[in-house]
Structure 1
Amino acid sequence: MPHVERGMTVGLFGGSFNPPHQGHQLVAEIALRRLGLDQLWWMVTPGNPLKSHNDLAGLGERVELSRRMAPGPKVKITAFEAAHDLHYTAQTLAFVKLRNPGIHFVWIMGADNLRQFHKWQDWRAIAETFPIAVIDRPGSTLAYLSSKMAKAFSHARVDENHAALLPFLRAPAWTFIHGPRSSLSSSAIRSARATNKPARS
């Protein structure tokens, strides 16, 4: 787990990153800038319980590719979930909170995940552990209006003009941040590789 000092603001950006791409890089850059973060933990997970693992690259490979993609020294690439046998986001956030008192954390996720967020294990507990910043992704801009999570926690939504306050708010609190978007996706890249065609950005 990356080193932090009390009072820091830290974004938690988790995923299988199979493979990492410029869309992930863009989400990290937007989160760092709009939330005013001291660090962003790019957390490479052992796997994704909602996805098939048939084409999952090795953890070491995904970590190394993520290091090459990291946009600057504030982004810390880590795979601590594998070392601590953490398989679900709710488990990870509870673990992080327990181990890091005095740190202001924000969960970062792309808007494409918001549509299925209610399928994640203990999704309400996730929303009630740390504030959440949802970063816009192609085809998912309206997810902040239509998703089950957005409706369930509509009372806790923060205007994106006040996004920099999010790390200091008590959960549940979330915001949707618009900005530049990349149409790249890990699944499209894997499919393109399988057919020897370039993935479109």
Structure 2
Amino acid sequence: MNIGLFFGSFNPIHVGHLIIAHQMAENSDLDQVWFVVTPHSPFKKKTSLLDNYDRLEMVHLATKDYDNLMPSAIEFNLPQPNYTINTLAYLKEKHPNNQFSLIMGEDNLKGFHKWKNYALILEHHNIYVYPRIAEGTTDTSLSDHPQIHKVEAPIMQLSSTYIRKAIKEGKNIRPLLPEHVWKYVDDMHFYS
């Protein structure tokens, strides 16, 4: 099985995440997309993150109606801060019959050469890239790599940061979250 790994803090998961994951599952050779909830990114501050299990619960709620979209807490028990190369090695050991690929936005591809062991990742894993509006030019040295596949998907300008800010300001963001996630966020008074 070919599984696409969509890494993120999902703080909170929103309709943009679902649209991208669904497009990847439907318009590529990926059989499933796993939402890998990251406990802590080496590139982000941890202070604004909700509890790991609250974010995982939101991903469960968002994906429960989709057969090919799955939540994953695989990184919760790995040493922190964790790097993608370690997660990929762990997954290959636990699921040797599956092929794991990465899903990332075009904007992340520009900085991919800064990732730990990025060349090793490219040697053994495909990368599926969805379009983003980004400043500057795309790094063509990587975008032409045979392991990198661009997949057509709607360009999403929606961000979790925008949603958290809007909630804090008392705005109604209900259409921006999957219904079950909106209810959970509202019931728990997250981000307000």
State how far apart, in whole Å, the 2-side matches of 1:62 and 1:24 are: 13
Cα distance change of structure 1 residues 26 and 154 upon mapping to structure 2, 3 Å threshold: closer
* Selected match of 1:53 from 46, 50, 57: 46
- Residues 156 and 119 (structure 1 numbering): CA distance in 2 closer, same or farther, change over 3 Å? closer
Q: The residue matched to 2:75 in structure 1 has which SS?
A: helix
**Is contact 2:20-2:153 (8 Å) kept?**
no
- Equivalent residues in 2 for 1:111-126, closer than 5 Å: 111-126=106-121
**RMSD after superposition:** 2.3
- SS of alignment partner, residue 128 of structure 1: helix
Mean Cα displacement is larger for which, 49-58 or 125-134? 125-134
Of residues 185, 190, 194, the one that matches 2:164 is 190
- Counterpart-to-counterpart distance in 1, 2:3 and 2:167: 34
Partner of 1:83: helix, strand, or coil? coil
Q: Which ranges of structure 1 fall in alignment gaps of 5 or more residues?
A: 1-7, 158-172
- Give the deviation of 1:177 after TM superposition: 1.7
Matched residue SS, 1:97: helix
SS of the residue 1:65 aligns to: helix
Structure 1 outlier segments of 4+, above 4 Å: 198-201
The code of the aligned residue for 1:176 comes to: K
Q: Which residue number corresponds to residue 99 of structure 1? A: 94
What SS is found at the alignment partner of 1:107?
Answer: strand
22, 26, 39: which one pairs with 1:29? 22
Q: 1:20 and 2:13 equivalent?
A: yes
Shift of 1:38: 2.3
- Uncovered stretches (5+) of structure 2, i.e. residues with no partner: 177-192
Shift in CA distance, 128/80, structure 1 to aligned 2, threshold 3 Å: same
1:198 shift after superposition: 4.8
1:181 to 145, 155, 161: 155
TM-score of the pair, normalised by structure 2 = 0.79
Q: Which amino acid aligns with 1:51?
A: K
Give how far 1:61 is off: 0.7
Separation (CA, whole Å) in 2 of partners of 1:56 and 1:131: 29
Find the partner of 1:84 among 70, 78, 81: 78
Query: 1:140-165 deviations in whole A, cap 9, x for unaligned?
Result: 3x87x622xx41x35524xxxxxxxx
What is aligned with 2:124? Answer: 129
Cα distance change, pair 198–122 in 1 and its aligned pair in 2 (3 A): farther
Over the matched positions of the two proteins, sequence identity in percent amounts to 34
**Equivalent in the alignment of 2:145:** 156
